[in-house]
Amino acid sequence: MAIQITVFLENRPGRIQTIANILKEKNLNILAFSIQDRGEFGLMKIIVDKPEQARLALSERGMACAAKPVFAITAADRPGNLETLTTALAKKNINIKDAYGFVSPADKQGICYLEVENPQGADLGRLLAEYGFTLIADKDLYDL
Amino acid sequence: MEVRYWNQHLETLPQSELRQLQLERLREVVGYALQTPFYQKRLKKAGIVSSEDIRSLEDLKKIPFTVKDDLRQAFPKGLLAVEMDKVVRIHSSSGTTGVPTVIYYTADDLDRWTDLLARSIVATGVGPGDVFQNMMSYGLFTGGLGLHYGAERVGLTVIPVGGGNTQRQIQIMRDFRTTVLHITPSYLLHIHQRLPEFHLTPADLNLKKAWMGSEPHSENTRLKLQNLFGIDIYNSYGLSEMNGPGVAFECVYKNDMHVWEDGYLIEIINPQTGEPAEEGQEGEVVFTNLIRHAMPLLRYRTRDLAFLHPEPCPCGRTSRRMSRITGRTDDMLIINGVNVFPSQIEEVLMSIPEVGTNYQIHLSRHEGLDRLTVKVELYSKLFTGDLSHLESLKTRINDKLRASITINSRIELHEPGSLPAFEGKAKRVVDEREKL
């Protein structure tokens, strides 16, 4: 499973830059990120190549951050794939807490990060395989 | 100017007779005080073991001051002087650090208090035929019920609507041709701003007068509100420790507030030394409640700053007048008429593990009402990364705060280390409300 770092940020200019700067100083590479806006604050969710190093670097600077497992799923870039994925989850009554996805136009590859309630890694992996999706292996995500 | 009295004899009692009456009543309440565990100990130390030990008003100075903290220490019954079955009413406030303070009244206490409110009402030229809309909160706060019973005693038509719900307030004012309000200055201003929505101007209403209390305000605010509505506005003063409203009230001359000295013995002291302030000089107001037997309070330090006018008032009343409150000796905040201490907020915040050590109390005013925003830092070690936890944390902080200070606040979450860290307490409060 992928490790997502969630950082608590005040909603004011320069906060994301601060995070980006901390990661840059440690030479950490951002694979994906998204931001949830909640008025006076927001949550920045980041997938980086070395999650534990990132968490430590942010904590050292006093940032409120947490690491949690999420699923990184690849799928071919074609119509109906999100429908197929969510049908699989709905049938098993799996609730999605948070998700973000995108397609890399160059290699026609869709990637989706998925946080679910009560994650049971192995089961979900099998379920996704049945529907033609692949969980990205940790070695492909991270420089170990 | 027409001057009306409720009890002409007492209101115009010559000073010497007033002092004699005060002495008699002081001896009586010292007798009751000696029935309480709190004062028994304290008065004995001061050499007072019976009401006979009070021979003149000068002997008052032998009695040590009572402070707010004493009320908390004595909670719940350390200051109760009568059997509980004689107590017919309880009022309470939240206190500065979570321990509430409580006030007990016998039926006779309420009767004497109500009479001073009737006196206050009549002093402002209000009487039977007037329609009184009481916009102060009812409940444990004394502001609502106090004036309510006073007004019924005088014979006004009382509309006990309580605070808030501006639309209903305006409808009632229009439908029942309300002539008198009991209201805070900021709310009266708000009502004025809302009138156009209902296609009304002050001239369409039948308002004649308002009693204004619970919030400090300047003479300019009074004049402005009087002009906006075309009414007469009278300042009032009270505190639950001295029963509630009706401790001091303006008469028709609107030249500061007559202290009902037969009910409340007033002293003005230097808050640093505890010595009497020079005549006419500003100092801390100290009251002895001369009319409450269920729960006597002797030489109670109000923390309010004011001064006394020694010269007589043209209305003929012999009681002295006190100025409006010019300040406080502590950091108490008044938010929509409710007294709040920063320490209450701090205590709640520090009981919540997810909250860091720095916080800021922010006060602003929107549509005539005060808004309390509490900014807190997230404690980084307990951050889970879940948005739902943050939302429920905000709700939990507000719920716990409301349980302590009785009012709602907006909670803002901030990054650890982002709020200014202050040495002293006072700077944790940012008050952006326009001075009234």
> For B285-323, what is each residue's pLDDT tens digit?
999 999 999 999 999 999 999 999 989 999 999 999 999
Question: Cα-flanking dihedrals φ and ψ of residue A138, to 5°?
Answer: -55, -40
Q: Is the pLDDT of residue A122 over 80?
A: no
Q: Are B186 and B436 in contact (CB under 8 A)?
A: yes
Asked if B171 reaches chain A (Cβ–Cβ under 8 Å), the answer is no
Residue B183: closest CA among B211, B206, B207: B211
CA-only gyration radius of chain B, Å: 23
Q: Is the pLDDT of residue A125 over 90?
A: no
ipTM, two decimals, is: 0.83
Q: C-alpha distances in angstroms, B359 versus A38, B335, B395? A: 20, 18, 17
* Residues of A with Cβ-Cβ distance to B413 under 8 angstroms: 8, 40-41
Q: What pLDDT was estimated at residue A120?
A: 67
Asked if B407 reaches chain A (Cβ–Cβ under 8 Å), the answer is no
Chain B interface, best mutation among A4, A6, A8, A47, by max B CB count within 10 A: A8
Report pLDDT digits (tens) over B331-368.
889 888 788 888 889 889 988 999 987 899 999 988 77
Residue type, B272: Q
User: How many Cα atoms sit within 13 Å of A23 on the Cβ side?
Assistant: 22
* Residues of B with Cβ-Cβ distance to A64 under 8 angstroms: 378-380, 383, 415-416
Chain A interface, best mutation among B384, B415, B418, by max A CB count within 10 A: B415
Residue B230: closest CA among B201, B254, B191, B194: B201
Q: Is the pLDDT of residue A144 over 50?
A: no
Q: What pLDDT was estimated at residue B426?
A: 43
Q: Is the pLDDT of residue B96 over 90?
A: no
Q: Is the pLDDT of residue A119 over 80?
A: no
Across the interface, whether the CB atoms of B413 and A40 are under 8 A apart is answered: yes
Asked if A14 reaches chain B (Cβ–Cβ under 8 Å), the answer is no
Asked if A57 reaches chain B (Cβ–Cβ under 8 Å), the answer is no
Q: What pLDDT was estimated at residue A76?
A: 87
Across the interface, whether the CB atoms of B385 and A10 are under 8 A apart is answered: no
DSSP codes of every residue in B84-144: GGGEEEEEEE--SSS--EEEEEEHHHHHHHHHHHHHHHHHTT--TT-EEEE-S--SSSHHH
Report pLDDT digits (tens) over B145-169.
999 999 999 999 999 999 889 999 9
Residue B428: closest CA among B368, B377, B381: B377
Report pLDDT digits (tens) over A67-100.
998 999 998 888 999 999 999 999 888 899 899 9
Residue linked to tokens 């009320």:
B71
- Residue B373, min C-alpha distance to chain A (Å): 12
Average pLDDT rounded to a whole number, residues A8-18 = 95
> What's chain B's average pLDDT?
93
Across the interface, whether the CB atoms of B385 and A9 are under 8 A apart is answered: no
- Residue A64, min C-alpha distance to chain B (Å): 4
Residue A49: closest CA among A110, A136, A128: A136
d(CA B242, CA B265): 10
Question: Cα-flanking dihedrals φ and ψ of residue B41, to 5°?
Answer: -65, -50
Report pLDDT digits (tens) over B235-244.
999 999 999 9
- Band (pLDDT 50/70/90 cuts) for residue B175 is very high
Q: Are B271 and B173 in contact (CB under 8 A)?
A: no
Q: C-alpha distances in angstroms, B6 versus B91, B119, B294? A: 26, 5, 25
* Residues of B with Cβ-Cβ distance to A10 under 8 angstroms: 414-415, 418
CA triple A28-A33-A35, angle to 5 deg: 130
A:B CB pairs within 8 Å: 50
Q: What pLDDT was estimated at residue B15?
A: 94
Across the interface, whether the CB atoms of A67 and B385 are under 8 A apart is answered: yes
Which residue from B380, B391, B415 is facing A59, i.e. has the nearest CB? B380
Asked if A95 reaches chain B (Cβ–Cβ under 8 Å), the answer is no
d(CA B365, CA A29): 46
* Residues of A with Cβ-Cβ distance to B380 under 8 angstroms: 59, 62-65
Asked if A120 reaches chain B (Cβ–Cβ under 8 Å), the answer is no
Residue linked to tokens 């709020």:
B419
- Residue A91, min C-alpha distance to chain B (Å): 25
Across the interface, whether the CB atoms of B390 and A62 are under 8 A apart is answered: no
**Own/partner pairs, A13-17, CB within 8 angstroms, 24+ separation:** A15/B415, A16/A44
Which residue from B380, B384, B387 is facing A62, i.e. has the nearest CB? B380
Closest residue in A to B354 (Cα) is A64
- Band (pLDDT 50/70/90 cuts) for residue B425 is very low
Measured on CA atoms in the order B22, B27, B30, B31, is the torsion positive or negative?
A: negative
